[in-house]
Amino acid sequence: KIKVPLRIKIFMWFVHKEVILTKDNLAKRNWVGNSRCCFCDQNETVKHPFLECPLAKLLWRSIHIAFNFQHPRSINTLFWTWLN
């Protein structure tokens, strides 16, 4: 019932279900390519671009400074924070 565009709701649902096409999910579908993050060279999982990548951490720090918004520790807390 939140007022966001439908495509954002669908994307949030995909992230929550961990089915977005990150490199680890692509590898499960027989994708042949580098499974490392292009920014930090760590394995790319669903949580990585949102929480674990140094670039994501920098973004969360910037958001915290600008809006006093705490860094989420998991995908579930990310959603609860967004919904609240």
Predicted local distance difference test score (pLDDT) of residue 52: 93
* Residue 27 to residue 5: CA distance in whole angstroms: 30
Q: What residue numbers bound the domain in which 65 lies?
A: 6-83
Mean pLDDT, 10 residues at a time, over the chain (84 residues)?
84 89 93 93 92 94 90 81 63
In a domain, 14, yes or no: yes
Q: What Cα–Cα distance (Å) separates residue 29 from each residue in 44, 72, 76?
A: 15, 29, 25
Task: Count how many domains the chain has.
Answer: 1
In a domain, 11, yes or no: yes
Predicted local distance difference test score (pLDDT) of residue 32: 92
pTM of the entire predicted model: 0.77
In a domain, 42, yes or no: yes
